[in-house]
Copies of this chain bind each other. A is one copy, B any other.
Amino acid sequence: MSGNKFGEIFRITTFGESHGTAIGVIIDGCPAGLKIEPEFIQEQLDRRKPGQSDIVTPRAEEDHVHILSGIFEGISTGTPIGMIIYNKDVRSKDYDNLKDLFRPGHADYTYFKKYGLRDYRGSGRSSARETAARVAAGAVAIKLLRHFNINITAYIISVGKIRIKTKNLQLINTNKILCPDTDTAYEIEKHLLELKEIGDSTGGIVECITTGVPAGLGEPVFDKLSADLAKAMLSINATRGFEIGDGFACSELKGSQNNDPMLPGYKFASNHAGGILGGISNGNDIIFRVAFKPASSIKLPQKTIDIHGNPVEFSISGRHDPCVAIRAVPVVEAMTAITVADHFLRAKNSKL
C-alpha cells in the first residue's frame, strides 16, 4: 500500500534512506533450492556503485552487502532473503544549506506535501541510492532466471542527442558508457566530461533485451508482462518514458507492416511487438527502451523557493552524475529480472 514492495510471488520490499543507518531489501518468495553466491550479489552491486569512473559521482560507498537470512549453506531455503547495506560515506552536512529549499526537479516539495516533513539528507528515501537494494534483489532474480536460461542485457543507446549508430552487445562492457557502439561511447564520454565541467547534466535512453523467455509469461488484462515492465521501469528514479518493440514509432505504421507473421516452427518473421502479445510473452526476445531525464542535481545556479515560499537562488555542491542513465543500466536489468522472475513463477498456475 505504501509502495515499497514490488512483485506478487517473487516479491521484494526495500527500505532505507540515503543518509540513514542502512538500506536494504527483503525478498519474499524466492523458491527453495536456488544456489546463490554472495559474491554474485556483490558483483552486481559493484556495477551500480558510485565512484567507478570520472563520469559518475565519486561518492565512495563501499556498498557491501550483508545477507541476513534465507540462504543456508549457499542455497535459498524458501524463507525471506534479507539483505542490508550500511551507509558509510554519510556527509549529511553537504545538505545543510538545502534543508529548507525545494530543489527543482527533486522530490523535496512533493515529499514535504505528502508527509508533512522530510528527511532532507541526500534526498532521503527518494535518493537513487535506494536502487542499490533493487540491484541486490535483482541479482537473486538474475540467478533464478539464468537457471532457466533466461538472460537480460541492458545498455545505453543514447545520451543527450548522441545516439548509437551500430549495436554490438559484446562491446557493452568494454567502455564506461555501457554502450554497444564504441565510437559513440567515446563521443558520449567526451560530451559528459564537458557537461561535468560546466556543472550541467543530460538525459539518455537505456535499451534492454531479454532472451530465452518461454512463450506464456504475463497475465492478461491488467498484469500484462508489458504493463508490469512499464511500471518497473517508471518506478526507477529519473525515468520519463517506456516503449516496447517498435514503441512510439509503431503509431506511424500500418497494421500490414506492424503485424509479425508466424512461421512454421512457431517462430516469428519479425519482432515489431517486442516479444509480447496481448500482455503475454510470445517466445521472441523482449526488447524495450527507457527514457531518463537529465539529473536534477546540477552545479549551475538555480532559482527556487524555500519552505516558507520565499524565492531563493542556490547551487548544489554535492557529488552527482552528469548522466544518471549510465548508472541506471544495472538497475534496469535488476528490475527487469525481478519482473520476469515474478511472472515466471506466476505462470506455474496458468494450467491445471
Contact = CB atoms under 8 A, between A and B. Distances in A.
Interface stretch (A51-59, A79-87, A171-179): A79-87
B22 A82 contact: yes
Contacts of A274: 240
B68 A221 contact: no
Main secondary structure of the interface of A (DSSP, over half): mixed
A242 interface: yes
6 contacts: A1-B28, A16-B82, A17-B69, A31-B349, A109-B215, A243-B291
A252 B160 contact: yes
Contact of A278 (B26, B110, B257, B283): B110
Contact of A349 (B1, B14, B218): B1
Contacts of A305: 262-264, 266
Nearest to A229: B234
Contacts of A125: 69, 77, 79, 220-221
B277 A106 contact: yes
Interface string A134-178: 000000000010010000000000111100000000000000000
Contact of A282 (B67, B110, B195): B110
Interface-central residue, A3, A4, A130, A347, by most chain B CB under 10 Å: A3
Interface string A42-79: 00000000000000000000000011111010010111
A282 B154 CA distance: 31
Contacts of A349: 1-2, 9, 29, 31, 345, 348
Contact of A235 (B80, B222, B292): B222
A256 B293 CA distance: 11
B291 A77 contact: no
A281 to B, nearest CB: 7
A303 interface: yes
B262 A102 contact: yes
Contact of A80 (B15, B82, B147, B262): B15
Contact of A107 (B113, B144, B237, B280): B280
A251 B325 contact: yes
What 4 A-B pairs are tightest by C-beta distance, nearest first?
A107-B278, A3-B219, A3-B223, A241-B243
A23 B26 CA distance: 11
A89 to B, nearest CB: 17
A347 B201 CA distance: 33
A293 B9 contact: no
A273 interface: yes
A242 B215 contact: no
Given A109-B215, A250-B291, A222 B261 contact: no
